[in-house]
Amino acid sequence: MQPIHTLHDFFARTGAEVHLYHMGRRVEPCPLDVLARFEDSASAWPFPWQGQARLGIVFRFGDLVDPLIWFLALPLDEQGQLVPAPRDAFLQRLLTLLGRNVDRATREPGNDSEIENLMQDNPLAFTPSLPFQAMLHALATRDTGRPASPHLEPVEAYLSGQQQVDWQFLGLQGLADFAVRMDNEAARLLAATLPALPDEVLNSLCYCLEHIAVPDTLGLALRDRGEQAAAAGCLETLCACVRAVGGADKTIAGAWFDELLSDPAACGPDLLAAMAGRGWEHLEDAERLPRFLEQLAAQPQADFASAARDLALIPRLRLPVLMTLREARQDSAIGQRLAGLGQ
């Protein structure tokens, strides 16, 4: 019988019904083969966050009725590859708990509580923010064929503009379910009602929309609402719209990013963090990325080194970021920041 060396090995051997989700830059499905290649050192983690590969693992095996959920933050090295020792220690504890006989242990009732307890003092475990938890629940119920939460119906009624509902009673889980299950018609109706949404509803909704691909009509509506927020001096709503537009087409998001980056008054650290956190794909541009890094370097409050390092861990951005830093003029904001780091 083959030994278990990786998390992927463990789930394959147990025959678990497993769904993986990225929990770093966005909450989105993660194919099992991505984890397998990562654990075999065949590829870097595609969506690193703060030097970690953050995973949500929803799985069920043996006699378990309800799925278990693990949130694991696997540390990465400077190349975005797995640092194996913490993962190995976790696997060792897991196999010890199951008595090393995984095939027999996963068929025995009662293991669910032991496996759940494994996460209580696990140094790799983390607790996602409430919007991330809501999005994971929404995705997992959809992907396992389960119904959405009861909170979805009033959200649909409110956001479609077809029924008056007190927005203060709308639940975050309902907004997450709406975002995950939104079809083109729902997106069209939402785009029409978006201009009149209270900021409180819009901001919470954007916490969910920032994890999905946004249709063009909705992306344009979010951009317009973000511009209104900028004109009104409402930074929180502007940043929320920027994060949500990160999932829109590059012709919409990229063009808006260019406009914002050309306005030094708009490019505070919060806005730049919103771009990097959810719109990093639109920074893969030969002109936009240097402009972004220059604006970031010009912000005294921003942790330039940490932010640049975080972007450089994204495989597709690694070389462009390093080249931008290397080619920066000494008298530029980037050059001055780099000179300060060397002192």
Does one domain contain both 53 and 13? Answer: yes
Q: Are residues 166 and 243 in the same domain?
A: yes
Asked which of 74, 97, 118 is the last residue of a domain, the reply is 118
**CB burial readout 133-158, b (16+ within 10 A) else e:** bbbbbbbbbeeeeeebbebbebbbeb
Q: Are residues 87 and 161 in the same domain?
A: no
Q: What is the pLDDT along the chain (343 residues), one digit of tens a residue?
A: 578 899 999 999 888 899 999 999 999 999 999 999 999 999 999 999 999 999 999 998 777 778 889 999 999 999 999 999 999 999 998 888 876 555 555 555 445 566 666 777 889 999 999 999 999 999 999 999 999 999 999 999 999 877 677 777 789 999 999 999 999 999 999 999 999 999 999 999 999 999 999 999 999 999 999 999 999 999 999 999 999 999 999 999 999 999 999 998 888 999 999 999 999 999 999 999 999 999 999 999 999 999 999 999 999 999 999 999 999 999 999 999 998 776 5
Radius of gyration, alpha carbons of the chain: 22
The pair of three-digit structure tokens given for residue 65, joined into one six-digit string: 């009725």
Are 52 and 173 contained in the same domain?
no
What's the pTM value of the predicted model, to 2 decimals? 0.92
Residue 323 counted as domain residue: no
Q: Quote the domain boundaries for residue 162.
A: 130-283
**Three-state DSSP state, 164:** coil
For the chain, how many structural domains are there in total? Answer: 2
- Clarify whether residues 203 and 113 are in a common domain: no
109: exposed, middle or buried (C-beta count within 10 Å: 0-12, 13-18, 19+)? exposed
Same domain, 134 and 279: yes
Indicate whether 145 and 273 sit together in one domain. Answer: yes
State which of 85, 118, 151 marks the end of a domain: 118
Q: In 3-state terms, the chain is what percent helix, strand and coil (to 5)? A: 55, 10, 35
* Co-location of 270 and 149 in the same domain: yes
Q: Strands 17-23 and 27-29, how do they pair?
A: antiparallel
Whole-angstrom Cα distance, residue 212 to residue 176?
Answer: 10
In a domain, 330, yes or no: no
- Within 8 A by CB and 6+ apart from 227, the residues are none
Three state DSSP letters for 102-156: HHHHCCCCCHHHHHHHHCCCCCCECCCCHHHHHHHHHHHHHHCCCCCCCCHHHHH
Considering 118, 144, 163, which residue would you say is the last residue of a domain?
A: 118
Same domain, 221 and 136: yes
Task: Please report whether residue 309 resides in a domain.
Answer: no
Are 197 and 77 part of one and the same domain? no
d(CA 324, CA 290): 6
